Every structure is written in C-alpha cells, then in structure tokens.
Structure 1
Amino acid sequence: MKNFLAAIALILSLCSTQLYAQEIDTIPINTKDLNIKLKRSPLPSRQGPLNFEPVKIKPLIVNAKISYWKTRTNIGINLNQAQFSDNWKGGGTNSIAVGGLLNWKAEYNKNSYSYVSEVVLQYGKIKNKDQLQKKTNDRIFWDNKASFQLSKSWYFFGSISFESQFDRGFRYYRDGQGEEQKVLISRFMAPGYLTESVGFEYKPVKYFSTRIGTGTARQTFVLDSMVYDGKKEVYAVEKGKKFKNELAFQIVSAFDKDIFTNTNLKARYAMFIPYKDFKASKIDHRLDVALTAKINRFMNTSLTGVLLFDDDTGTNKIQASQTLALGFAFTFPR
C-alpha cells in the first residue's frame, strides 16, 4: 500500500513540473529596459507622404456612323446556243437565247419603323433559224412598302407597286404562204399596273410575311391603241380610254429562305378581289416561284415558274410559264 501511494505521489510531481514549465514558456517578457537591436529589413522603404499627380489622357474619338440601311443586288446572265451542220440527220434548229435578271432590294429598319423597296427586272429572247425572234421573259416590277410595328408579329403598312414590261409582245401565226407573221398585243404600259394598298401585315418570322390590304386600289393602263387590234376592250380597259381604276381587297404572301446549303427558294403569291364584283372568275391570282442553286462563286442554276389567272388578260384559264437556266450570277455586297 505504501508503494502504491509513493507511485501516485511521483506521477503527480512530474505532471506539476511539466505544467509549470509550460506556464514559464508562455510568460511575456518585458523589453522596456533592454537594449535590443533589430536587424534592418533589406526591402526599400519610403518616408513621408506620397504625392500623386493626375495624368491627362486625350479621349479617343471613334468616327463611326450607324447605318439603318441594308441593300443587296443580284445580277444573273444566262446564255443558250445550239448549232447544227447542214447534213445533220438527227434533226434540230439552230438557235440562240439570252436572258438577264436584276434583283435589287433595299431595307431600312429603325425602332418600330421599316421601309422595303425591291426591284425585279427580267428580260430574255430566243432566235430560231427561219423564225422570228421571240421573247422568253419580260417583266418590270417595283414594290415599295412602309410599315409600323404594332406587336411582335403584326404591322400596319402602306405600299405602292408598279408592274409592266420592257419590249413589245406579239401573237404569231402563219399566212397562206407559210410565212410567219406577228400581231402586236402588248408593250410598255400596255398594260401597266399601279397598285396602292393599306392594311395589316403578319410577319411571324423573317423569311415569311402576309399582307392583308383591306384598302387597295389598282390602276390598269393601256397607252397604245394598236394593241386593241379591232377589239373594244383589252386588259379590262375600254377602247378610247387610257386606264381603269378598281377598288379591291388584296392578299400578298412572300417566302424567301435558304432551304438547303446554297439553295434558295423564293415565292410570292398575290390575290386581288375587286369590291365591285366578287365572282370567282373576277378574282386575280398570281404565283411566282424561283428555286436557285449556287454551283460556285460565279455560277448558278435556276428554275422559275409563274402561274397566273386573270380574266382581264383575255382568257379564263390558268396561264403558266416555266424557265430552266444555267448561267453566271453576281451578288453585291458579297
């Protein structure tokens, strides 16, 4: 028992010694009267206040102007030629055909206002051996539209468009001697169309739009009396008059988008319903479709077609035309 108590006393003595040593190590030392010299720091130091002087920097002026206009011009030239020797037994006719297309479009957008002007000029001719030369294409079309945005997809618009042709158009026939003859049936401003329209436009996406022209007026001009050819009325204009005015309801839908890589589809449908006569035979329809595929930087191929129903042209049947062309194409700006 005495040995056990002695062991406990020894352990307590050692623990108290360690605690005492730890307390001595953490006791702060008073250095007030001690001559202690600290080693000088090798880093440079500066005494006194720091003085700052402002530096004048010349402002950089950027001479940039914001343009709200965007323009684009497409020019296409097509050429087709065929030549046969005199002893060619496979049959064929020497021919040459040339065609041209100019499509210019300017667009202005600022805030809720926009303006679009588009010009389409087309002309083509073909000359076959022992035949009179004939037109393959002839059109002047100029459309102008100003609009104000009402909501995300609806606009209030006003538009004016002009349409006619460059050259004279003929009806061809053979006389008693088998010679080809021609009779004038159209020319510039015979007919010519001027259409003014006010209404609402629906444009949910950039490449598609539909105009609903609740207030539309169209003037049909016939400025050459020679196209009458003994008739009392042509293009709904009576002989002796220069033009006819009609009030109507009009719908114009347009689609313009690259449907594949380097392949563009452009379509325009117009329906003209005269308020004076709501008969189905008096409603005018026109559908223009153009599919253009780019071959390289300067060449493309195009397939165009037109479907037209207009009783005023002298027939109550659907008229159609189609053109397949391979040629040169230039676009500005590139």
Structure 2
Amino acid sequence: MKKVLVVFAVVMVLFSKAQITDYQKLIDSISQKRWDSTALDIDSLSNPKIIDIRSLKKDSVQLTNNMVIVSNTSDTSPLTPSSIINLPTLKRWFFFGQNSLVFNQSSFANWYAGGNNNIGVIGKVNYNIVYKKNRHYMDNNIQMGYGFVSSTGQSTRKTDDYINIMTNYGYELAQHYYLSTGFQFLSQFTPGFNYANNPDPVYDDRISKFMAPGYLNLGIGVSYNPNENFQVIFRPVNGKFTFVLDKKLQFAGNYGLERDGQSMRSELGAMVNVLYKIKLFKDVNFVNQVNFFSNYLQHSERVDINYSGSLNLKFNKYITTVITYDMVYDHDQIKRLQRKQTLGVGVTYNLGYKMERDTKTGIIKPFVN
C-alpha cells in the first residue's frame, strides 16, 4: 500500500509540472520584476536624499480662479485694522462703498385736514479705501451727503449737506497699538440759510457756504484697536484750522473768528476720538463716534465735543433705515449745544471688497503678513 501511495505522489508532481506553460512563466517573471523595483533597499537608508517639496503656508488657500467677495451690509461705521485683519487676500488695497438714496413725498387734493404738497430727496455716499502692508496701515474715508425738500409755495430748502474726508496712517508698534497720524476735512456743498428768520431767503441772506466754514484737523499720536467694534485715537499734538473764505461772513464771533476780516483761525491742542459699535440685534447695529479737542493756547478747559450716533436697521439686501443724531458743542462758535437729527428709509447699494489671486502662484495669503 505504501508503494502505491509513493507512486501516486510522483505521478501528481509530474502532472503539476506539466501544467506550467510558457505564459505562466512570463507572468511570474513580470511580477518578480515589479516586486524588485518597489522593494525597500535597506542599504539605501544610510545615504538619504532630501527633496524640496513646496508646501502652502498656514491659512493660505489654493485657488484656480479669481476670488470675488461682495459685501452687502447696512454697517456704515469706519473700517479699522481689526475689521480687515483676517481677510484672505494678496491684494493690499481694500475697498468698500455704500450708496443710499431716500425719497419722501406727500400730495393733497381737497384734503379737509389740510396739507402742503412736497417732495424730498436725500443722497449719501460712504467710501472706505484701505491699504495694508506688513506693519503699515492707511485708511481713507469719504463721506458725503446732500438732501432737499421742495414744497408748494416755498423755495427749495436743503435738509442735509456735508463733506467729510478723513485719512489716517498707522504703523503697528505692538498688537492692537499703532503710531497714528492723519487729517480730517469738513465742509458743505451749497449755501445755508436760517429759514426760521427768513422763510424765503436769497443768496445775500446766506449764513454759510462751501469753505465758510471749512475745518481741517491734522495731528500725530497713537491709536488702540483691540477689535472691530472699538477704537481709540489719541493725538497729543493736533492742529485745528477753521476757514471762512467768504468776505460777508468774516466778522468777529462768527465760527470762532477773533477779528473782522479773518479768513483762518489756528488752534493747537490735543484730540481724542473714540469709535464704539454695538450690535443690538441681527441686522441692527448702533454706531457711536465722539471727538474731543482741547486748545493748549487758549482756554484749555473749554473742550470742543462732537458726537455722532447712527442706528442702522436692515430690512433686506437693499432696503434700510438709518436714524442719525449729531451733537456739537464749541464754546468759540456758540455757547449752546448744537443738535441735528435725521431719519431715512430708502434704497442702499453696497460695493464690496474685490480680491484677486496671485496670477503666478495662485495663492491667497492672509491680509496681514
């Protein structure tokens, strides 16, 4: 029996060897070559080679096409370094613009309670142009507004008129702290009249016009900006210049002028500007900005105060309501508190930051290097 099993085993071995064809041998040789080419050569680890592999920096984003971000918000507050510090753009220029147009209209026909047909329009623009590179920061803010109302039987009267241009340059000293310098220019477009004393005025009845008055603030100091909702600018050296370039209005006591015929008054003092923004609800924010100025050369205890408050309510992408309240106290001009309040519901269209990728690398880096 054992001899039979041995013979059977020999026959099976010979039979299995006969099944290996030339094709099978070819397949086995190819598999062996692939194994040899990918197998790890332990001896090669003694002399490793370092290959330079390009990697993206942290917070960078690889893009294949241009990146465009359009912001549409009712926020009218000035931009600050913290409000743009995390924007992912290689471009060092940042742009934001807001355009508002408000209409008011009333008409009456055989209305027993009485009334006067009228139409009113108020237009406002608010543009920010910001430059940021390394430790350098420059913010340019342009605010302009003009409004009028026309009523039956009365001359057209303006309801709003202002020009406000600000430029602020900062150099980062430490986190949230900047060496700051800049200027602010204030004036108006057209002549202003006192309609309470003169319901139907002519040009000779003007009490103000462009550059009468005009204000220029220029100084140097430091600014503190811990977040986008809070900013303090302190300038211990600040020049305040008041221009009255109208012969009729150049008499003593008008806009703080000290003598008749004076076209410019110069003051040197300290200035503090505080910006504080509060988000009350979703799409509802309250922006507060107050400015203090003290004259070193004359009556430093008389501090000029200029406050501006703006309540912004956004109904949808284009319809917004803005309520503003302004207060000014300047002892040299008038020893009373000056106040102005406006309310407007209208159309607002925003233009927002367009950012393009680097055409060479295709990388969007953080806004601040």
- What TM-score range do you get, normalising by the shorter chain? 0.7 to 0.9
Structure 1 stretches of 5 or more lacking a match?
1-34, 53-58
Alpha-carbon distance between aligned partners in 1 of 2:149 and 2:161, rounded to the nearest angstrom: 12
Structure 2 residue aligned with 1:161, among 184, 191, 212? Answer: 184
Contact persistence 1:221–1:242 (CA under 8 A): yes
Is 2:254 the counterpart of 1:234?
yes
Structure 2 residue aligned with 1:77, among 97, 101, 105? Answer: 101
Is the alpha carbon distance of 1:96 and 1:203 closer, same or farther for their aligned partners in structure 2, counting shifts above 3 Å?
same
Is the alpha carbon distance of 1:161 and 1:323 closer, same or farther for their aligned partners in structure 2, counting shifts above 3 Å?
same
The Cα offsets for residues 36-55 of structure 1, whole Å up to 9 and x where unpaired, read as 76755969222686798xxx
**Partner of 1:5 in structure 2?**
none
Amino acid at match of 1:208: F
**Partner of 1:201 in structure 2?**
223
Amino acid at match of 2:344: A
The Cα offsets for residues 147-201 of structure 1, whole Å up to 9 and x where unpaired, read as 01112221111111111101111123567xxx74452111000011111110011
**Partner of 2:317 in structure 1?**
297
Matched ranges for 1:80-91 at <5 A? 80-85=104-109, 87-91=110-114
Structure 2 residue aligned with 1:324, among 327, 333, 343? Answer: 343
**Partner of 1:112 in structure 2?**
135
Alpha-carbon distance between aligned partners in 1 of 2:252 and 2:329, rounded to the nearest angstrom: 21
Alpha-carbon distance between aligned partners in 1 of 2:92 and 2:279, rounded to the nearest angstrom: 24
Matched ranges for 1:45-60 at <5 A? 45-46=28-29
TM-score of the aligned structures, taking structure 2 as reference length: 0.70
Q: Secondary structure, in 3 states, of the residue corresponding to 2:332?
A: helix
**Partner of 1:310 in structure 2?**
330
More strand by share: 1
Alpha-carbon distance between aligned partners in 1 of 2:349 and 2:253, rounded to the nearest angstrom: 42
Alpha-carbon distance between aligned partners in 2 of 1:241 and 1:330, rounded to the nearest angstrom: 43
Q: Secondary structure, in 3 states, of the residue corresponding to 2:339?
A: strand
Alpha-carbon distance between aligned partners in 2 of 1:201 and 1:173, rounded to the nearest angstrom: 42
**Partner of 2:121 in structure 1?**
98
Amino acid at match of 1:219: F
Is 2:178 the counterpart of 1:139?
no
Q: Secondary structure, in 3 states, of the residue corresponding to 2:154?
A: coil
Is the alpha carbon distance of 1:287 and 1:214 closer, same or farther for their aligned partners in structure 2, counting shifts above 3 Å?
same
Amino acid at match of 2:91: S
Alpha-carbon distance between aligned partners in 1 of 2:165 and 2:116, rounded to the nearest angstrom: 37
Name the Cα RMSD after superposition: 3.0
Alpha-carbon distance between aligned partners in 1 of 2:231 and 2:352, rounded to the nearest angstrom: 24
Structure 2 residue aligned with 1:213, among 198, 222, 235? Answer: 235
1:71 shift after superposition = 0.7
The Cα offsets for residues 2-59 of structure 1, whole Å up to 9 and x where unpaired, read as xxxxxxxxxxxxxxxxxxxxxxxxxxxxxxxxx976755969222686798xxxxxx9
Larger Rg: 1
1:239 shift after superposition = 2.5
Contact persistence 1:96–1:128 (CA under 8 A): yes
Contact persistence 1:173–1:181 (CA under 8 A): no
Is the alpha carbon distance of 1:333 and 1:174 closer, same or farther for their aligned partners in structure 2, counting shifts above 3 Å?
closer
Alpha-carbon distance between aligned partners in 2 of 1:150 and 1:174, rounded to the nearest angstrom: 53
Contact persistence 1:174–1:180 (CA under 8 A): no
Contact persistence 1:172–1:180 (CA under 8 A): yes
Alpha-carbon distance between aligned partners in 2 of 1:227 and 1:92, rounded to the nearest angstrom: 36
Alpha-carbon distance between aligned partners in 1 of 2:133 and 2:279, rounded to the nearest angstrom: 25
Contact persistence 2:193–2:201 (CA under 8 A): no
Structure 1 residue aligned with 2:294, among 253, 265, 273? Answer: 273
1:311 shift after superposition = 2.2
Contact persistence 2:170–2:180 (CA under 8 A): yes
The Cα offsets for residues 273-292 of structure 1, whole Å up to 9 and x where unpaired, read as 11112454x32111111111
Structure 2 stretches of 5 or more lacking a match?
1-11, 38-53, 55-62, 67-88, 354-369
Alpha-carbon distance between aligned partners in 2 of 1:156 and 1:327, rounded to the nearest angstrom: 39
Q: Secondary structure, in 3 states, of the residue corresponding to 1:235?
A: helix
Alpha-carbon distance between aligned partners in 1 of 2:271 and 2:249, rounded to the nearest angstrom: 28
The Cα offsets for residues 114-155 of structure 1, whole Å up to 9 and x where unpaired, read as 111101001111223323322211110011011011122211
Greater alpha carbon shift after TM alignment, 63-72 vs 292-301:
63-72
**Partner of 2:83 in structure 1?**
none
Is the alpha carbon distance of 1:128 and 1:62 closer, same or farther for their aligned partners in structure 2, counting shifts above 3 Å?
closer
Contact persistence 1:300–1:327 (CA under 8 A): yes
